[in-house]
Amino acid sequence: MTACPERTLSLHALADGELDGIHSAAVEAHLRGCPACAGEFDRIVAVRAVLSNDDLRHGIPVDLYSRIVALVDAEINLMSLNTGVSPSRPIWSWIGGGAVGALAASLALLIATPQVATPGLEDELIASHVRSLLAAHLVDVKTSNRHIVKPWFNGRIDFAPPVVDLATSGFPLVGGRLDYIGGKVIPALVYQHRLHRMNLFIRPAPDSAVLKARFDRRDGYGLMHWRMDGLDYWIVSDVEQVDFETFQTEFVHHSRQ
């Protein structure tokens, strides 16, 4: 007693309400005269009944909603920074008086900073770090939640930097920022260590070599560079060298988990 194979799809379509009146009537007429197909139809209806339970949907994790809303808020903030200044409003009123002072101060500092012979990448990184402390541009997306920072970078840069929160090691994640360095947009992760800020800059490396962490001090700021997994990393901060080393070890450890 097997159902008519050529009718199978029609039985499913009838159960799904996908048949028009004429075809429904034809299939129903067939069911009355064919016990095998009628049995098959009952099985389809029974399977559908089991699957109609609302509990079969997976419930959303508690904080997913607020995380997505926070992501969109950050997106809007960035849009208003990029495009929100209307021509009729002078830029100074938009930034606000305090920021102008900070900007002037940072310019003064940059001018006063003794320049090494060629203003290379390291100098740009330090300048970016200094700017981030003075102007109101420490972070574009302010959150310690790496699940917000990481997707926030998506679509803005063409690689995915590892984002980890190191709060348990004494380096809580403050947020993320985009900066324009060496002619490229590169992401910076901002961490805090006691009262000090640390900027971690990441960008694709020119080759896949692995370079051990190397510490350097310039203009009173510490700078540490290493290369692994095809990415170049720089930390800039005014913390002690031992803190650089701890941070670097912890970051490598957590980003590889």
List the x/- string, 77-116, binding to another protein by CB under 8 A: --xx--xx--------------------------------
Cα–Cα distances in Å, from 233 out to 126, 190, 200, 252? Answer: 13, 13, 7, 10
For residue 200, give the nearest of 169, 168, 177 by alpha carbon.
177
Least distance to another protein from the beta carbon of 9, Å?
Answer: 5
- Could you say which of 66, 93, 154, 208 contacts another protein (CB under 8 A)? 154
Backbone angles phi, psi at 164, to 5 degrees: -130, 150
Q: Which of residues 22-51 bind another protein (CB under 8 A)?
A: 43-44, 46-48, 50-51
Roughly how many angstroms between the first and final C-alpha of the chain, as a whole number? Answer: 57
Q: In what order do the strands lie in the sheet with 173-181?
A: 141-142, 173-181, 184-193, 196-204, 231-237, 221-228, 211-218
Q: Which is nearer to another protein, 156 or 253 (CB)?
A: 156
- Could you say which of 20, 33, 53, 158 contacts another protein (CB under 8 A)? 53
Report yes or no: 232 and 225 within 8 Å, Cβ to Cβ: yes
Q: Which is nearer to another protein, 82 or 118 (CB)?
A: 82
Distance CA 38, CA 47 (A): 14
Report yes or no: 143 and 195 within 8 Å, Cβ to Cβ: no
- Could you say which of 65, 94, 159, 180 contacts another protein (CB under 8 A)? 65
Of the listed pieces 4-12, 26-34, 165-173, 226-234, which binds another protein according to CB under 8 A? Answer: 4-12
- Could you say which of 38, 121, 138, 151 contacts another protein (CB under 8 A)? 151
Q: Which residue has the tokens 């560079």?
A: 225
- Could you say which of 1, 20, 52, 158 contacts another protein (CB under 8 A)? 52
User: How many of the chain's residues bind another protein (CB under 8 A)?
Assistant: 42
Q: Where are the alpha helices (DSSP H) in the chain?
A: 8-15, 21-33, 35-51, 64-83, 91-95, 97-112, 121-134, 146-153, 241-255
Of the listed pieces 8-16, 90-98, 119-127, 195-203, which binds another protein according to CB under 8 A? Answer: 8-16
Report yes or no: 201 and 233 within 8 Å, Cβ to Cβ: yes
Q: Does 72 bind another protein (CB under 8 A)?
A: yes
Of the listed pieces 61-69, 162-170, 202-210, 218-226, which binds another protein according to CB under 8 A? Answer: 61-69
The residue ranges that bind another protein (CB under 8 A) are 8-9, 12-13, 16, 18, 43-44, 46-48, 50-53, 55-61, 64-65, 67-69, 71-72, 75-76, 79-80, 83-84, 147-148, 151-152, 154-155, 160
